[in-house]
Chains A and B, each alone.
Chain A
Amino acid sequence: MKTAAHLGSEGDFDVAIVGCGVSGANIARRLSAYRLRVAVIEKETDVSFGTSKANSGIVHGGFHHNRKYLKARLELRGALMFDELRRQLDFPFRRCGILVAALHDEEMKAVEHLYLQGVENGVIGIEMCSRERILELEPKLSQDTVGGLYAPGGGIVEPYRFVFALVESAKKNGVAFYTDYKLSATEWDAKTRRWTLRAADGRTLHARYAVNAAGLFADEVSSLFGAEEFKIQARKGEYYLLDRLTKARPGRVVFPVPTAVSKGMLVIPTVEGTVLVGPTADSAEDKTDLSTTEERLERILDSGRKMIPSISANDVITSFAGLRPCLEEDFYIEVSKKAPALVQVAGIQSPGLTASPAVGEYVKDLLKTAGLELTEKPDWDPYLPPRPKTREASPYERDELIAKDPAYGNIVCRCENVSEAEIVEAVRLGHTTLDGVKYFTRAQMGRCQGGFCAYKIIKIIMRETGLGYDQITKRGGASRILEGEL
């Protein structure tokens, strides 16, 4: 991403979106279909670096929430939009099905409630399962399972690849993206009816409308706009990631029966082939604290083993945490009543990822009610060319790729089978940090966790961008990798 920090305005826009996670990216892409000048500002060095990179990666089954809630209605709409989005944007997504497993007879009541809710919500194919049926659907479930629920339409997605694809599509259709752009002040000019959004480093841009999609910091951004006052409470979720060769990989996403506070700790066969166990749910004081703790991680293994007994600590390759931006029971997506020309998109916790395509639509409609003119672009191109991945290529396909570009033959990440060409592509698309390359290509996500490939990736980033060794970071800011040169 361009991080030019020159003073003077970046430009005049019709809409500025604050925050480029899954919500902001979907809104940006939706708006890119219209004759509008759209800008997205993101405070991190890369997009999707907030909650959108550390979540369960699930397209939910549509039965967890009552349709009286906006989040439920958007979840149902959003879930249906993923197939077409995938066809257009080529990100990893698959409908593997979702199971809710009851381990005691008493839990079946809660399962029945979910089932009825799913039926009421119009979920296609949802079924109540007897013990035999659920064990047939998922043989790795504990023998203690007494029954459950099956939603065949539920799915798994690589959340950061989803955001990257949305962003690339939006960019292709003219949306401007600014990273390392931390909003520090705004001004409303009542005469020209436009906002000035000032970044901490002095950059400014102007927009007639603004969208606050700032995730964990939506409350602070709302304050900066002089808009509604609310408090985002961070709730941390810790996960374990298991090796793709683990015996404990289920064929479908396995949920426990939910509690009042959370959907519980899941066992998720990720679309990339690994297994995620988690998340926990504990309130966090500090919105930047992504640390994990031993007791919570132990809880994850215990909880996971109750459903899938073959989960073994030996299969763990890493752990991480994400923070949910909690506001109230429901999403807060409304035109601001306090600040002019502002749409609030806040409190987007689960099912935020599932709902996000519908959030894009919904916000577009809200902007229209607020006065934004929407004229469709006849030349809007919703497609992205499919990107070859060496790990998915047959030997013959690989040979053809290498003939076109030899860098496809140089395997940089042996664990995840990622070639130099794919890493160069990631860097050229603006992912110039180790984490950015990791989320785009999967290099460093495998067994060795970058032990063999990290130095190669560092060198490729330096070669492609001209950055000095002291400018290579893990995820931007002060997360420098190298301290000196001999």
Chain B
Amino acid sequence: MKEIHFDAIVIGAGAAGMAAALEIESSGFTCALIDREDHLGGILMQCVHNGFGLHEFNEELTGPEFAERFAERVLESRVAVYLGTTVVSIRSNDVEGKEVFCSSAEHGVIRILCRSVVLAMGCRERNRGNVRIPGSRPAGVYTAGLAQRLVNIEGYIPGKNVVIIGSGDIGLIMARRMSWVGCSVKAVVEIMPYPSGLTRNIVQCLNDFNIPLHLSCRTSAIYGKDRVEGVEVTPLENGAPVMEKSFRIPCDTVLLSVGLVPENELSKEAGVELNAMTNGPQIDSTMMTSVDGVFACGNVLHVHDLVDWAAEEARRTGAFVVAWLKGERPALQVRVKAGPNVRYANPGRVESGRENKLYLRSLVVKNDAVLEVKLDGKPIRSIKKNHVQPSEMLTLSVGDKDLGGATSDSVLEISLV
């Protein structure tokens, strides 16, 4: 069995994984980058639309372009790349650090011994079972991401007359994509009273194609014997379904765009504790999980809106890994608490004595909101926000001057009013 040693391994070679690996390697530590696919770039390679890289590169790029800019740097670096390789288990032990087993057709089973691990596995899509849409089980029901893979990489059209469930960006992008490959998208059905994707995408993916968006509607059933024949849609009033107003939309294909879930099964097996609000690992101010030497970044930590932020977060995580490998440990950390109207804030701790960058999400849609930061109940910052909504991640920088007087029992509460 092949056995190799590294200072760090990064699991997942999407935007976050590549950025973290580059950061670690550039500081002189040995680093492996592992991905189960046969290419670098992760999910970006099937995101052939544009909208990526505005912040990272000051250009508007497609997914593959964004990914390849990182991939080129990875291949020029001394990062050891293992593609077509699936991590099977992660175990910590006191003697050797971390023991990671991977499976690959090319290399067989590889036993990797390393000092640190960066989790960057990204997320998976919620599916029909998760949202419990009753009805029959015909062929023709796909998650939007699977349909995207089939169309953009494999070159197959899953169906002709499409209904999309969920108005998140993936669903909206696929509404346009399916239209552009000659399908007829009949409708997008959204359970909330407002769309969850970017308004920009409502315009260029729905309005441009006259695709109706049914808000406050839930999908009550999918029907069809062997192949989808239609969906039943029920409007909600005050959050309750009004069954008498149900209507059917005939179609042969259903795409589900009903949310993303960080892919943390490996993390759980490694003993990492998860945050129930994000479904991602709980992390401290150095992006380290509850398992010493195991870090997390990118969509596996919390689902980002923009890949630019995932890459930025991953770079910072790489820098923290380097510090940890050098023996540095955070001094005083203060617990972060998500207060009223804040769904979550990551990381779960901030360190005094330096700048800390936090990512957070609102629970509510609000104009003229105020982001309030309190230390042990005392307000220390108030930031005006023109508009907040759950689908737009917010950032917050907390520094030394904010944390004056804090002790290890202090709590930093972030809320939106």
Q: By the criterion CB–CB under 8 Å, are B158 and A482 in contact? A: yes
Q: Is A411 an interface residue (CB 8 A)?
A: yes
Q: Which of B102-110, B328-336, B342-350 is near enough to bind chain A? A: B102-110
Residues of B contacting A241 in the complex (Cβ-Cβ under 8 angstroms): 129
Residues of B contacting A447 in the complex (Cβ-Cβ under 8 angstroms): 124, 265
Q: Is A386 an interface residue (CB 8 A)?
A: no
Q: By the criterion CB–CB under 8 Å, are A288 and B225 in contact? A: yes
Q: By the criterion CB–CB under 8 Å, are A448 and B156 in contact? A: no
With A402-B109, A451-B124 known as contacts, the answer to whether A297 contacts B103 (CB < 8 A) is no
With A318-B128, A479-B226 known as contacts, the answer to whether A486 contacts B86 (CB < 8 A) is no
Shortest beta-carbon distance, A391 to chain B, in Å? Answer: 9
Q: Who on chain A is nearest to B266 by CB?
A: A414
Q: By the criterion CB–CB under 8 Å, are B157 and A448 in contact? A: no
Task: Provide the A441-482 mask, 1 if CB < 8 A to any CB of B, else 0.
Answer: 000000111111011000100000000010001110111111
Residues of B contacting A396 in the complex (Cβ-Cβ under 8 angstroms): 1, 109
A: contact size bracket: 35 or more
Task: Provide the B134-150 mask, 1 if CB < 8 A to any CB of A, else 0.
Answer: 11111110110110011
Q: How far is the CA of A136 from the CA of B222 in the complex (A)?
A: 43
Q: Is A293 an interface residue (CB 8 A)?
A: yes
Q: By the criterion CB–CB under 8 Å, are A292 and B36 in contact? A: no
Q: By the criterion CB–CB under 8 Å, are A318 and B145 in contact? A: no
Q: By the criterion CB–CB under 8 Å, are A448 and B127 in contact? A: yes
Q: Who on chain A is nearest to B103 by CB?
A: A409
Task: Provide the B356-370 mask, 1 if CB < 8 A to any CB of A, else 0.
Answer: 000000000000000
Shortest beta-carbon distance, B3 to chain A, in Å? Answer: 11
Shortest beta-carbon distance, A302 to chain B, in Å? Answer: 14
The binding surface of chain B is classed by DSSP as mixed
Shortest beta-carbon distance, A124 to chain B, in Å? Answer: 38
Would you list which residues of chain A between 396 and 423 have a CB under 8 Å from chain B?
396, 398-399, 402-403, 406-411, 414-415, 417, 419-420
Q: By the criterion CB–CB under 8 Å, are A477 and B226 in contact? A: yes
Q: How far is the CA of A407 from the CA of B89 in the complex (A)?
A: 19
With A398-B103, A482-B158, A486-B156 known as contacts, the answer to whether A411 contacts B136 (CB < 8 A) is no
Shortest beta-carbon distance, A230 to chain B, in Å? Answer: 26
Residues of B contacting A297 in the complex (Cβ-Cβ under 8 angstroms): 132, 134
Most central of A316, A319, A420, A484 by chain B CB within 10 Å: A484
Q: Who on chain A is nearest to B132 by CB?
A: A316
Task: Provide the A305-340 mask, 1 if CB < 8 A to any CB of B, else 0.
Answer: 000000001001111100000000000000000000
Q: By the criterion CB–CB under 8 Å, are B130 and A452 in contact? A: no
With A319-B132, A395-B1, A484-B157 known as contacts, the answer to whether A455 contacts B146 (CB < 8 A) is yes
Q: Who on chain B is nearest to A398 by CB?
A: B109
Q: By the criterion CB–CB under 8 Å, are B124 and A399 in contact? A: no
Q: Is A119 an interface residue (CB 8 A)?
A: no
Q: Is A187 an interface residue (CB 8 A)?
A: no
Residues of B contacting A434 in the complex (Cβ-Cβ under 8 angstroms): 139
Task: Provide the A272-300 mask, 1 if CB < 8 A to any CB of B, else 0.
Answer: 00000000000000001111111001000
Q: How far is the CA of A406 from the CA of B146 in the complex (A)?
A: 26
Residues of A contacting B220 in the complex (Cβ-Cβ under 8 angstroms): 294
Q: Who on chain B is nearest to A417 by CB?
A: B88
Q: Who on chain B is nearest to A399 by CB?
A: B109
Shortest beta-carbon distance, B254 to chain A, in Å? Answer: 13
Shortest beta-carbon distance, A217 to chain B, in Å? Answer: 16
Q: By the criterion CB–CB under 8 Å, are A451 and B156 in contact? A: no
Q: Who on chain A is nearest to B268 by CB?
A: A245
Q: Is A485 an interface residue (CB 8 A)?
A: yes
Q: Who on chain B is nearest to A485 by CB?
A: B156
Q: Is A229 an interface residue (CB 8 A)?
A: no
With A395-B109, A399-B1, A411-B103 known as contacts, the answer to whether A319 contacts B129 (CB < 8 A) is yes
Q: Is A169 an interface residue (CB 8 A)?
A: no
Residues of B contacting A484 in the complex (Cβ-Cβ under 8 angstroms): 156-157, 160, 182
Shortest beta-carbon distance, B219 to chain A, in Å? Answer: 11
Q: Identify which of A289, A402, A449, A474 contacts B128 (C-beta below 8 A).
A: A449
Q: Identify which of B84, B128, B159 contacts A483 (C-beta below 8 A).
A: B159
Q: How far is the CA of A408 from the CA of B156 in the complex (A)?
A: 27
Q: Identify which of B105, B130, B227, B253 contacts A316 (C-beta below 8 A).
A: B130
With A402-B108, A410-B84, A447-B124 known as contacts, the answer to whether A459 contacts B134 (CB < 8 A) is no
Shortest beta-carbon distance, A295 to chain B, in Å? Answer: 9
With A396-B109, A448-B127, A450-B146 known as contacts, the answer to whether A478 contacts B227 (CB < 8 A) is yes
Q: Is B154 an interface residue (CB 8 A)?
A: yes
Q: How far is the CA of A427 from the CA of B218 in the complex (A)?
A: 38
Shortest beta-carbon distance, B240 to chain A, in Å? Answer: 13
Q: By the criterion CB–CB under 8 Å, are A483 and B109 in contact? A: no
Q: By the criterion CB–CB under 8 Å, are A486 and B135 in contact? A: no
Q: By the criterion CB–CB under 8 Å, are B154 and A411 in contact? A: no
Residues of B contacting A407 in the complex (Cβ-Cβ under 8 angstroms): 105
Q: Is B291 an interface residue (CB 8 A)?
A: no
Shortest beta-carbon distance, A110 to chain B, in Å? Answer: 32
Q: How far is the CA of A414 from the CA of B121 in the complex (A)?
A: 12
Would you list which residues of chain B between 253 and 283 have a CB under 8 Å from chain A?
253, 265, 268
Q: Is A212 an interface residue (CB 8 A)?
A: no
Most central of A293, A448, A477, A480 by chain B CB within 10 Å: A448
Q: Is B221 an interface residue (CB 8 A)?
A: yes
Q: Is A55 an interface residue (CB 8 A)?
A: no
Q: By the criterion CB–CB under 8 Å, are B226 and A414 in contact? A: no
Q: How far is the CA of A317 from the CA of B142 in the complex (A)?
A: 15
Q: By the criterion CB–CB under 8 Å, are A290 and B150 in contact? A: no
Q: How far is the CA of A288 from the CA of B130 in the complex (A)?
A: 25
Q: By the criterion CB–CB under 8 Å, are A486 and B155 in contact? A: yes
Q: Is B52 an interface residue (CB 8 A)?
A: no
Q: By the criterion CB–CB under 8 Å, are A409 and B106 in contact? A: yes
Q: By the criterion CB–CB under 8 Å, are B109 and A411 in contact? A: no
Q: Who on chain A is nearest to B84 by CB?
A: A410
Q: How far is the CA of A402 from the CA of B105 in the complex (A)?
A: 7
Q: How far is the CA of A289 from the CA of B86 in the complex (A)?
A: 39
Q: Is A356 an interface residue (CB 8 A)?
A: no
Residues of B contacting A289 in the complex (Cβ-Cβ under 8 angstroms): 136
Q: Who on chain A is nearest to B261 by CB?
A: A447
With A291-B135, A459-B154 known as contacts, the answer to whether A451 contacts B268 (CB < 8 A) is no
Q: By the criterion CB–CB under 8 Å, are A455 and B157 in contact? A: no
Q: How far is the CA of A408 from the CA of B332 in the complex (A)?
A: 48
With A294-B134, A402-B105, A483-B160 known as contacts, the answer to whether A455 contacts B150 (CB < 8 A) is yes
Residues of A contacting B320 in the complex (Cβ-Cβ under 8 angstroms): none
* Pairs A-B, 10 closest by C-beta atoms: A318-B129, A484-B157, A474-B139, A478-B226, A409-B105, A399-B109, A479-B139, A479-B226, A406-B105, A411-B86
User: Can you list 29 A-B pairs, Cβ within 8 angstroms, ordered by A?
Assistant: A290-B137, A313-B132, A317-B127, A317-B130, A319-B134, A395-B89, A398-B109, A399-B108, A402-B109, A407-B105, A409-B104, A409-B106, A415-B265, A420-B105, A434-B139, A448-B127, A451-B127, A451-B145, A451-B146, A454-B146, A474-B138, A474-B226, A478-B227, A479-B138, A479-B227, A480-B226, A482-B150, A483-B157, A483-B253
- Taking Cβ atoms with an 8 Å cutoff, the residues of B that contact A are 1, 36, 84, 86, 88-89, 101, 103-109, 111, 124-125, 127-130, 132, 134-140, 142-143, 145-146, 149-151, 154-160, 181-182, 220-221, 223, 225-227, 252-253, 265, 268
- Taking Cβ atoms with an 8 Å cutoff, the residues of A that contact B are 241, 245, 288-294, 297, 313, 316-320, 390, 395-396, 398-399, 402-403, 406-411, 414-415, 417, 419-420, 434, 447-452, 454-455, 459, 469, 473-475, 477-486
